[in-house]
Structure 1
Amino acid sequence: MDNKSSLTGFSSLAIHGGHEKDPSYAHLVPIYASSTYVYDTAEQGMRRFSGKEEGYIYSRWGNPTMNEAEQKIAALETFGLSMEVKGILHASGMAAISTLMLAELKSGDKVLSHFSLYGGTEELIHRILPNLGIGSVIIDLRDLNKAEEAMKQDPSIRMLYIETPANPTIQCVDIEELTKLARKYGLIVACDNTFATPYLQQPFKYGVDYIAHSTTKFLNGHGTAIGGILLGKDIEKMTSNVTKVHRLLGGNSNSFDAFLLINGMKTLEIRMEKHCHNAVEVANYLDQHPAVAKVNYTGLATHADHYIALKQMRHPGAMLSFELKEGLQGGIAFMNKLKMCVRTVSLGTCDTLLSHPASMTHYSVPKELREKYGITDGLIRMNVGIENIQDIINDLEQSLSN
């Protein structure tokens, strides 16, 4: 079955995409728990290792369960687009981003990115890559003039790396315009699409070279497995150099986590619709609350990147953050009062998750540096879940009350 050409709906692709008939006629792809695979003859083994014959060799290099997850996500990211991409499943989003960086950057190169990034990505750029002679240029990429000036002035910039919407300030950058600039100066373009998912945003539509996801989040949707994927449109490069780097770094996924991911993705569309509907309601509620100083949600016309989000996203999404007027102590008090909503990091699960960066994920970061990135003492990040909307608002209301 040609899943890309014969299916016309996103949900159909999320359910059936990437699936191949199992030799034993299992309805769902089995969990292939074998570490290695056998050959009928020595000659067949030679053909497999030389690449002359397709087939599985070693599960660090891939297996049928992992392959279905890769093909399904690749199909979703290119839904409605006339193009082919290849995905490589990883043990985590950070493993996927590490493969990307080490496959495409060498000593003397630089990566151009922006201030509001996932903390792990930021640390990779600032703590790990410099040891390999790879530098960075960090600017506000929402200013296209600044972006072009950086590209023009520094020929050592090799990659443009963007994350939109970004974590935790929900900033958005213009994928299409930045990619046009990057093409002008011969840069590779990579985009972290975790917050949006392919249901809300398809960066390949705007010409990017790579997309990365933490599949742990909305793609899995249930908080049951860690994972990541790197997708690229240069098939030859993905099957050669990128695959080689991935295999040698050892950041491979496994069949059990891939199985959980596959089944989570089958409800991606209906989950995202409910997530997004609830997020709009929550954002409007918080925007009117006297204890809240500011709401960061691109669905609000007051958000600085509202029109960029409208341009490239199907919906503003399920993630938002808001600043409490009472600062650090107000944030701690609010978090302690929550009853139904969950105090934790991460995102993308069916339940509503809230974190207070100043006292949790960014506790060790100096205040002045946090605030430079828009992470104030009273900032709360919120993954709006798919519970009954009134129950979410009721919990917020009692937690915000004095």
Structure 2
Amino acid sequence: MTDNNTNPGFDTLCLHGGHVTESNRAHLTPIYASSTYEFDSAEQAAAIFRGEEKGYIYGRWGNPTIAEAEERIAMLEAFGLKDANGEQLKLKAILHASGMAAISTAFMGNVKAGEKILTHQSLYGGTHEIIEKILPDFSIGAVIVDFHDLKAVEQALQTDKTIRMMHIETPANPTLQCVDLAELIALAKAHGVVVCVDNTFATPYLQQPFAFGADYVVHSTTKFLNGHGTAIGGILVGKDIARMSTALTKTHRLLGGNSNAFDAFLLVNGLRTLSVRMDRHCANAEKVAQFLHDHPAVGVVNYLGLADHPDHAIGMKQMKHPGAMLSFELKGGFDAGVKFMNSLKICLNAVSLGTCDTLISHPASTTHMGVAREQRLKFGITDGMIRMSVGIENVEDIIGDLEQAMR
């Protein structure tokens, strides 16, 4: 299903978006496990390399399995959105080996030596580290501002003309901070700054950054998009088709962060159940968050669906549902958290998120270990914080496991 003139529903796109019937009429697009592709003639090879004729060249440049994953996710991010001419918005996606590879392409393909990235205080640890520890070696700087303070954001944009990109992660990992996409993107556009949004926690089912004017969206497809914890991947989606097809594609190919046919196959099959999985994830998370909020052993719960979350109103303005992610801290602090995690029987102590089963982790000692403690605490990532990706098990069993572990 590649005809953008039709108007299939979101669930239908999850199942059929981007699928092209291949010669043997396989029900599902096969795993194209080939490193290279043949040409009919020298003339055809040259034409395909020049982009004058469609065709596959080399595995690092893509293949039919990867192409289906790319097209499907682009269609989901564009679902129901219109371009400046009132037509269905068209996007281009590039599948990567990981979410960090996709972020690297977005950064390196848009920001040059002497320029800067404007971002906020609560980011995934890997994203924070690439901005703080890798990009400076390429003379690419960072300006970190509290994105809740729109006046501070505007002042940064006004005073520093070397800012080329604004990078937003909302909801943020692991604090679940939520920032206003409409307001931030409007400020960026007023100053000619491109905007990239990490939409991993929300997925296009719950939030569509392109509706607010974003230029790029990135995902770790490892998470909710795959949904089963079977494959690592990342995707960069952009609305400037020409630039995505030239500068960003060139950056992606030369950095070598390409995906592979097997992981793309697993991703495509995970996407088939995205909407039904998210419905269950979200319904369970609401009940788990309320249970934790009411439990006497819990000091803090960070969940956008709770009315006392400071960003509750922002989240409800731009998201379909608060989502399946939350974090919390026991009143006993770090020691109580360790005892709690070691007592779990159903919920799994593992990094990553978005899988069908419930995963619980301790950011300070795992995903954010590489972030300096003083920075981590400033960003709200405390020593005792526990992050939870609520799965699709029977919610009574999830709550029962949490309850017995806190006794």
* C-alpha distance after superposition, 1:287-326 (max 9, x if no partner): 0111111110000111111011001100000000001111
Matched, 1:238 2:244: yes
How do residues 349-360 of structure 1 correspond to structure 2 at under 5 angstroms?
Answer: 349-360=355-366
Unaligned runs of 5+ in 1: none
Q: Which amino acid aligns with 2:62?
A: G
Matched, 1:272 2:278: yes
Contact 2:125 2:371 in 1 (8 A): no
- The secondary structure found in structure 1 opposite 2:269 is helix
Q: Which amino acid aligns with 2:47?
A: R
- How far did 1:24 drift? 1.2
- How far did 1:168 drift? 0.3
How do residues 75-154 of structure 1 correspond to structure 2 at under 5 angstroms?
Answer: 75-82=75-82, 83-154=89-160
- How far did 1:359 drift? 3.4
Provide the residue aligned with 1:294 in structure 2.
300
- The secondary structure found in structure 1 opposite 2:363 is coil
- How far did 1:371 drift? 1.4
Contact 2:124 2:367 in 1 (8 A): no
Provide the residue aligned with 1:303 in structure 2.
309
Contact 1:219 1:265 in 2 (8 A): yes
Provide the C-alpha distance between the structure 2 equivalents of 1:134 and 1:205, rounded to a whole number of angstroms. Answer: 29
Provide the residue aligned with 1:200 in structure 2.
206
Provide the residue aligned with 2:68 in structure 1.
68
Residues 1:111 and 1:48: Cα distance change in structure 2 (over 3 Å): same
Provide the residue aligned with 1:13 in structure 2.
13
* C-alpha distance after superposition, 1:152-209 (max 9, x if no partner): 1111111100000000000011111101000111101000000000000000000000
Matched, 1:40 2:6: no
* C-alpha distance after superposition, 1:29-84 (max 9, x if no partner): 00000110001111111111111111100010010000000000000000001211
Residues 1:192 and 1:74: Cα distance change in structure 2 (over 3 Å): same
Provide the C-alpha distance between the structure 2 equivalents of 1:400 and 1:308, rounded to a whole number of angstroms. Answer: 32
Q: Which amino acid aligns with 1:165?
A: P
Contact 1:7 1:13 in 2 (8 A): no
* C-alpha distance after superposition, 1:253-277 (max 9, x if no partner): 0000000000000000000000000
Provide the residue aligned with 2:86 in structure 1.
none
Unaligned runs of 5+ in 2: 83-88
Contact 2:32 2:261 in 1 (8 A): yes
- TM-score scaled by structure 1? 0.98
How do residues 149-298 of structure 1 correspond to structure 2 at under 5 angstroms?
Answer: 149-298=155-304
- The secondary structure found in structure 2 opposite 1:374 is coil
Provide the C-alpha distance between the structure 1 equivalents of 2:370 and 2:92, rounded to a whole number of angstroms. Answer: 38
- The secondary structure found in structure 2 opposite 1:180 is helix
Matched, 1:55 2:55: yes
- The range that moved more, 7-16 or 281-290, is 7-16
- The secondary structure found in structure 1 opposite 2:365 is coil
Q: Which amino acid aligns with 1:319?
A: M
- The secondary structure found in structure 2 opposite 1:229 is strand
- How far did 1:356 drift? 1.3
- How far did 1:366 drift? 4.8
Provide the C-alpha distance between the structure 2 equivalents of 1:376 and 1:227, rounded to a whole number of angstroms. Answer: 28
